[in-house]
């Protein structure tokens, strides 16, 4: 429905999706099924299958991807990163960012046009369903003017069902497919929190794809905002060849034509899902979906001119005809990416089967026992990275007169879990020098992990034959 308003009109359009009176300009693009659309169709459905299957398929008994935010555990293709893997995750995230910089510098917004879930689901699921139920652009515009009828209500009902499916796919990445199936097969009353989460995510998906649509790309997505920084004159863009197209003029026979090749049919504009005119130059709203290329190529075919008036090009190529993608920033990004990925692979290969952290006990740093020995409490935190349950034996590695008292020894840790236990190390006062004594602990499970950890226990500072200070 087209919104109306009594607000004063702006002198010119501020956003392609706003009318001059500030009301929403609803986009009803005319689908152009040219050669790029057919390639994008195949790519999109391959991606939809991939997005759907990733949380369902398993490797080493784990989903291909699981982002367990509450536990801060992230699984990617069989490898699980625990909260202690901050460095690895940092390397991975940094590599992803540099990869995005590199891809954008070379290929522009190819992600937006070809692979972003927003575009993929909008243009290859929701939009085709909309056309199937309501008809093409003309019929949709008529419906906008008339007000909703049964077909529009049916469309929203179908959108809601698709949004519920998408919401479950999305949630599976965060809660796991197995848990999601349990939620889905049980009564909402048995899992009220889960039901609310699923309903809320479905509502968000519905809002996004039924109403908000291209606004997500134009006003909500930070990547669109970044593009002016990431693109340069030699990045791949979808561009209009003004040198060939101008001056534009309505079509006449080829031999009678003195103007440029653009016949001002505006089919490139009516095909655009973000409502811009590509002939105005590179714009932030352009998601490089190639619909204007397909629309214009079809026109060129019909009037017998060469395709490519609107095409994949670069600003530099449009200005001087030279196409070259190699430049310093591409080399620098590539070099940084290789270093980052190398460091990530090296750190990943060197990852041990467990992580052990020694922490001082809470409260007093040490106590003097009735027999004069000094006791330190330590907390031992063990993260089991293996796929099996493991029992970790904690032992003192040498040191005369030292004694370990560990109520939970060995400590059993489930796969992928972290456990903490408390232990006491006692030592004679003579073991301390300047209030400290070195100790070493061996922690191992006899299968895939053994590590010797150095630690310093605290005690009274010795002075002469007596003690300086005392236990708390």
d(CA 223, CA 111): 10
Q: Using the rule CB under 6 A, give the single segment among 62-70, 179-187, 258-266, 319-327 that binds ligand SF4.
A: 258-266
d(CA 286, CA 280): 11
Angle of helix 86-107 versus helix 328-349 axis, rounded to 10: 150
Token output for 170: 């999305």
d(CA 123, CA 220): 18
91 makes contact with ligand SF4 (CB under 6 A):
no
291 makes contact with ligand SF4 (CB under 6 A):
yes
448 makes contact with ligand SF4 (CB under 6 A):
no
Find the length of the chain: 472
Q: SS3 letters for 246-289?
A: CCCCCCCCHHHCCCCCCCCCCHHHHCCCCCCCHHHCCCCCCCCC
d(CA 374, CA 417): 33
286 makes contact with ligand SF4 (CB under 6 A):
yes
d(CA 295, CA 287): 16
Closer to ligand SF4 by Cβ: residue 47 or 271? 271
Closer to ligand SF4 by Cβ: residue 27 or 64? 27
Q: Is 420 helix (H, G, I), strand (E, B) or coil?
A: strand
How many other CB atoms are there within 10 angstroms of residue 187's CB atom? 8
284 makes contact with ligand SF4 (CB under 6 A):
no
120 makes contact with ligand SF4 (CB under 6 A):
no
d(CA 47, CA 116): 9
274 makes contact with ligand SF4 (CB under 6 A):
yes
278 makes contact with ligand SF4 (CB under 6 A):
yes
Closer to ligand SF4 by Cβ: residue 140 or 290? 290
Q: SS3 letters for 314-363?
A: CHHHHHHCCCCCCCHHHHHHHHHHHHHHHHHHHHHHCCCCEEEEEEECCC
314 makes contact with ligand SF4 (CB under 6 A):
no
State how beta strands 73-76 and 79-81 pair: antiparallel
Q: Using the rule CB under 6 A, give the single segment among 41-49, 273-281, 397-405, 415-423 that binds ligand SF4.
A: 273-281
271 makes contact with ligand SF4 (CB under 6 A):
yes
d(CA 97, CA 337): 9
Element (H, E) at 445: none
Q: SS3 letters for 77-108?
A: CCEEECHHHHHHHHHHHHHHHHHHHHHHHHHC
Quickly tell me which residue has 């809320």 as its tokens: 200
288 makes contact with ligand SF4 (CB under 6 A):
yes
264 makes contact with ligand SF4 (CB under 6 A):
yes
Choose which of 44, 175, 262, 374 interacts with ligand SF4 (CB under 6 A): 262
Q: Using the rule CB under 6 A, give the single segment among 69-77, 205-213, 279-287, 341-349 that binds ligand SF4.
A: 279-287
118 makes contact with ligand SF4 (CB under 6 A):
no
* Residue 292: CB minimum distance to ligand SF4, A: 3
168 makes contact with ligand SF4 (CB under 6 A):
no
119 makes contact with ligand SF4 (CB under 6 A):
no
Q: Using the rule CB under 6 A, give the single segment among 222-230, 285-293, 362-370, 404-412 that binds ligand SF4.
A: 285-293
Contacts of residue 338, defined as CB under 8 A and 6 or more positions apart, other chains included, come to none
Choose which of 88, 105, 238, 406 interacts with ligand SF4 (CB under 6 A): 238
116 makes contact with ligand SF4 (CB under 6 A):
no
* Residue 214: CB minimum distance to ligand SF4, A: 9
d(CA 202, CA 165): 8
Q: Using the rule CB under 6 A, give the single segment among 91-99, 218-226, 269-277, 312-320 that binds ligand SF4.
A: 269-277
Site residues (CB under 6 A) for ligand SF4, limited to 292-311: 292, 295-296, 299, 309-310
Closer to ligand SF4 by Cβ: residue 125 or 271? 271
Q: Is 124 helix (H, G, I), strand (E, B) or coil?
A: helix
* Residue 107: CB minimum distance to ligand SF4, A: 13
Closer to ligand SF4 by Cβ: residue 143 or 295? 295
Q: Footprint of ligand SF4 on this chain (CB under 6 A)?
A: 238, 240, 245, 262-268, 271-272, 274, 276, 278-279, 286-292, 295-296, 299, 309-310
């Amino acid at each position: 429905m087209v919104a109306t308003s009594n607000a004063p009109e702006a002198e010119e359009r501020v956003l392609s999706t706003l009318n001059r009176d500030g009301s929403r300009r609803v986009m009803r693009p005319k689908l152009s099924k040219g050669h790029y659309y057919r390639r994008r169709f195949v790519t999109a459905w391959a991606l939809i299958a991939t997005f759907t299957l990733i949380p369902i398929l398993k490797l080493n008994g784990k989903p291909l991807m699981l982002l367990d935010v509450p536990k801060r555990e992230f699984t990617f293709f069989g490898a699980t990163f625990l909260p202690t893997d901050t460095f690895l995750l940092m390397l991975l995230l940094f590599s992803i960012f540099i990869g995005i910089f590199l891809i954008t510098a070379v290929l522009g917004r190819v992600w937006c046009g070809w692979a972003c879930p927003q575009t993929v689901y909008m243009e290859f699921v929701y939009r085709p369903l909309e056309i199937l139920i309501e008809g093409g652009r003309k019929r949709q515009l008529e419906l906008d003017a008339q007000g909703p009828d049964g077909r529009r209500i049916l469309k929203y009902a179908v959108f809601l069902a698709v949004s519920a499916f998408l919401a479950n796919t999305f949630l599976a990445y965060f809660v796991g497919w197995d848990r999601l199936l349990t939620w889905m097969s049980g009564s909402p009353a048995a899992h009220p929190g889960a039901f609310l989460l699923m309903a809320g995510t479905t509502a968000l998906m519905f809002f996004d794809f039924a109403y908000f649509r291209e606004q997500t790309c134009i006003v909500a997505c930070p990547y669109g905002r970044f593009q002016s920084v990431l693109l340069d004159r030699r990045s791949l863009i979808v561009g209009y060849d003004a040198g060939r197209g101008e001056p534009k003029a309505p079509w006449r026979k080829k031999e009678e034509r003195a103007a440029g090749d653009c016949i001002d049919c505006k089919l490139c504009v009516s095909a655009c899902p973000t409502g811009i005119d590509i002939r105005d130059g590179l714009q932030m709203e352009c998601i490089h979906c190639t619909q204007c290329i397909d629309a214009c190529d079809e026109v060129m075919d019909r009037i017998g001119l060469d395709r490519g008036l609107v095409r994949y090009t670069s600003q530099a190529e449009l200005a001087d005809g030279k196409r070259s993608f190699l430049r310093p920033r591409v080399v620098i990004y590539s070099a940084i990416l290789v270093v980052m990925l190398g460091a990530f692979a090296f750190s990943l290969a060197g990852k041990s089967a467990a992580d052990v952290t020694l922490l001082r006990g809470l409260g007093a740093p040490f106590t003097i026992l009735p027999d004069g020995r000094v006791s330190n409490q330590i907390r031992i935190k063990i993260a089991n990275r293996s796929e099996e349950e493991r029992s970790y034996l904690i032992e003192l590695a040498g040191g005369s007169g030292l004694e370990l008292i560990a109520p939970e020894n060995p400590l059993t840790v489930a796969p992928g879990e972290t456990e903490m236990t408390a232990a006491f190390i006692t030592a004679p006062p003579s073991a301390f020098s300047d209030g400290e004594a070195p100790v070493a602990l061996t922690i191992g499970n006899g299968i895939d992990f053994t590590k010797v950890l150095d630690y310093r226990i605290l005690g009274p500072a010795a002075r002469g034959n007596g003690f300086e200070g005392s236990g708390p």
